[in-house]
Structure 1
Amino acid sequence: MLEPIVEFFTRIFHWIGVGIGWLFAWLAWPFLALGRWYRHRGWILQAVVGSLVLLFAGLYIYFMWQTQVWTNFNPDYPAAYKFDERTVTAGEQVNATEGGETRTCGRSAIVEVAADLTDFNVNENAWISSMLLYKTGFFFIDWDNTPFFDNKAAFQRGVNQGVRRIAVELVDALGRVRGTSQIDARLQKARESIQFSEDTWYFGLNPFGPKAPTPSFYRQSIKNFREFNDALANCEAVFDARADNLIQLLDRISSDIGSTSAILRERSENYNGGWFDTRADDRFWFAYGQLYAYYGLLDAAGADFADVIRQRSLESLWEATEGQFRAALTITPAIISNGREDGWIMPTHLATMGFYVLRVRSNLVELRQVLDR
């Protein structure tokens, strides 16, 4: 009685095996043909071709290593700064000599974290998006359209998005007095550098010719951020830690996160490919990187605006908001799935991340409302 069922499944698995065999044969055919061609060439051509093959093999090994190893990745990284132990806010004068010739002021925690996040992206790790093999893709298919080797790139772009947003606020409001004083040249240069294209290599076609790669611009922004903080520590720059500037900062972060929430919702609602949605991982890790950056930047803002937070009795609400950011960073699935929300086989990681993003945004809106009273 069970024989027809057994035969049915036997045939199914047989044809699955045949299909897999044909797939591997199709994939291996170009390499086998190249091997036959290579064996019948002269030794000079063999040496040249062999060297090129070894070069590309080395590049691919390096590329795969850099995309899979996340150096110094730590969701609890804000704790290392110990901002809660700071006794002075950004720009606040600490001491002066008797003649008043030498003064010392508080450094900006926001600027420090922005510089360190960029350093984490381009110095502690390789910047993936502008690497040659990332740009060439998988058989000229954009890596973002495949399920391979693109998670770290999306995460880095998310971190960079947070730093870009902060760089704009530093130039427009925080690094000048009431928005009417002169723009700080160091912050202006930092903003220009961090806004540079994320995928530029040493050479490009549009426009045609050699170029400065993306990481060199981002390293320049690190230098400019730290130069500003050094000037601030010497009381030669300003940091305007007023309540209305904090309100504007929270508004901008909330708006930026809201945009990401819309992207997650659109993908989650319109593409239910489960584990086979090749763009779901990009959306997830971009949002994760953005929250990763804003978690540290919000903790830094708590130090720079400590007087405002204390005056408005926002300590508990501020801590709760940071807690929401940290809770979102606990989600690190090995494979991102974009299944149906009512599905029972494939999970829906995008909807889960979207839920945490909305919780974070809700807390930011509440902070802003309390400050605006």
Structure 2
Amino acid sequence: MLDPIVNFVTRIFQWIGRLIGLLIGIILWPFMWVGRWYGQRGLILKAVGAVIVLTLVGMYGYFFYVTQFWSNFNPDYPAELAQARESTGAGDPVSSAAGATGQPAQSCKPSAIAGTTADLVDFNVNQNAWISSMVVSKLGLFGIEWRNTPFFDNKAAFQLGINQVMRRTTTELVDTLGRVRGTSQIDQNLQDARTALAWSETAWYIGLRGPTRPTPSVYREAIAKLRAFNSSLEKCGATFDARADNLMQFLDRIAGDIGSTSDILRQRIEISDAGWFDMRADDRFWFAYGQLYAYYGILVAARSDFAAIIAERNLTALWTRMEGQLRASLDVQPWIISNGNESSAFFPSHLATMGFNLLQVRSNIVELRSVLDR
């Protein structure tokens, strides 16, 4: 009675084995052809070929290393800033040691938002390699973009999520926070930082129009400009307009940015429920994670820069709760991202989890904004 079933199962596995063998043969055939061709060449051509192969192996080996090992990744990175909270806001005068004349030297509190932004850009391009502009990232897997494969794209998506926040933050620093009521002169350091971060995220040494500057070198200029702004602010030579309406507008922009990302996740959930086999789910997840990672630091910094406003409007409890939810959302770090049906017992929906975290944070930001608007 069981023989037909056993034979059927055996045939199924035989066909699976043949299919796997066929796929392996298709993948290995170009390499076997190149190997036979290479064996028939002269010594000089073989040497040149060997150098090319070793270079490619080295490049891909380095690419594998920098995409799999994330230097100084730490969801608790704003902890030191949170512990050093003061009642003064950015740009306010602070006490300092006496100068050469015996009088206290003029000093103002630097911006934690500008400092955290510089630190996050430094984390992206100095403490880690910037993945999106690497030539191997552009080559992909046999011409297939890495984001369309399950390999080597999570860190790039995470970095791009952080960079999205950096662009938004520098725009707000230029347009509202770094000038008085939006009518005074734009701070040149902030303007230069915004321009630098607007540079293409995928630029290498050579582009479609010829030689160009790679992304990391341009972003490093943004770090220098943001720190130059803070140095000027510390000497009371720059402006940080820590008013309630500016904070309200900043929160509006952040809420809009988070809402846009949650909508992108929703669209991906509706398009596919392939579970572990959705090749684009990890890009969406880690981009959103990068945004939350960056906004956690930026909002902790905003609490420092707008300390007087937050205390005056009794926002401390609400702000603390928002920070706690942001930090909790960063604990979701699955090894493999699944975009399954939300009711599935075997294929979880990590995108739905991330979308819920985004909307929860956004809800807290909207609540803070509404209190400020009263």
TM-score by length of 2: 0.97
Who is 1:266 aligned against? Answer: 267
Other-structure match for 1:300: 301
SS at 2:132's partner residue? helix
Contact 1:83–1:303 (8 Å) recurs in 2: no
Match of 1:182 among 174, 185, 193: 185
Paired with 1:73 and 1:12, the residues of 2 have a C-alpha distance of 46
Deviation at 1:84, TM superposition (A): 4.0
Equivalent in the alignment of 1:146: 149
- Structure 2 equivalent of residue 328 of structure 1: 329
CA apart distance, 1:344: 2.2
Deviation at 1:100, TM superposition (A): 6.2
3-state SS of 2:207 partner: strand
Q: Secondary structure at the match of 2:107?
A: strand
Cα RMSD, aligned residues only: 1.3
| Match for residue 138 of structure 2 among 119, 135, 139 | 135
1:216 aligned partner, one-letter code: S
Q: Deviations 1:64-101 (Å, cap 9, x if unpaired)?
A: 11111111111111103345433532111113656768
Aligned to 2:16: 16
Q: Which runs of 5+ in 1 are unaligned?
A: none
* Identical counterparts, % of pairs: 60
Secondary structure class of the residue paired with 2:55: helix
Residues of 2 paired with 1:131 and 1:351: CA distance?
Answer: 31
The 3-state SS of whatever aligns with 2:179 is: coil
Q: How many angstroms does 1:241 deviate by?
A: 0.6
Give the residue type in structure 2 aligned to 1:42: G
Secondary structure of the residue aligned to 1:357 is: helix
Contact 2:193 2:225 in 1 (8 A): yes
**CA distance in 2: counterparts of 1:285 and 1:82, whole angstroms:** 25
Give distance in 1, aligned partners of 2:82 and 2:104.
Answer: 30
Give the Cα–Cα distance (whole angstroms) in 2 for the partners of residues 229 and 83 of structure 1.
20
For residue 201 of structure 2, what is the aligned residue in structure 1? Answer: 198
- In structure 1, the partner of 2:217 is 216
What CA deviation, in whole Å up to 9, does each residue of 1:144-172 have, x standing for no partner?
Answer: 11111000000000000111111000000
Partner of 1:49: 49
Q: SS state of the match for residue 298, structure 2?
A: helix
* Range that drifts further, 73-82 or 127-136: 73-82
Structure-1 residue corresponding to 2:158: 155
CA separation in 1, counterparts of 2:82 and 2:354? 28
Confirm or deny: 8 A CA contact 2:113 2:298 kept in the other structure. Answer: yes
Q: Counterpart of 1:54 in structure 2: which amino acid?
A: L
**1:126 is aligned to 2:113:** no
Provide closer, same or farther for how the CA distance between residues 152 and 24 of structure 1 changes in structure 2, counting only shifts above 3 A.
same
Whether contact under 8 Å (1:83, 1:300) holds in the other structure is no
Q: Is residue 154–residue 282 contact of structure 1 (8 Å, CA) maintained in 2?
A: yes
Q: Find runs of 4+ consecutive structure 1 residues off by over 6 angstroms.
A: 98-101
Residues in 2 aligned to 1:95 and 1:279: alpha-carbon distance in whole angstroms: 52
- Counterpart of 2:161, as a letter, is G
Gaps of 5+ in 2: none
Contact 1:68–1:149 (8 Å) recurs in 2: yes
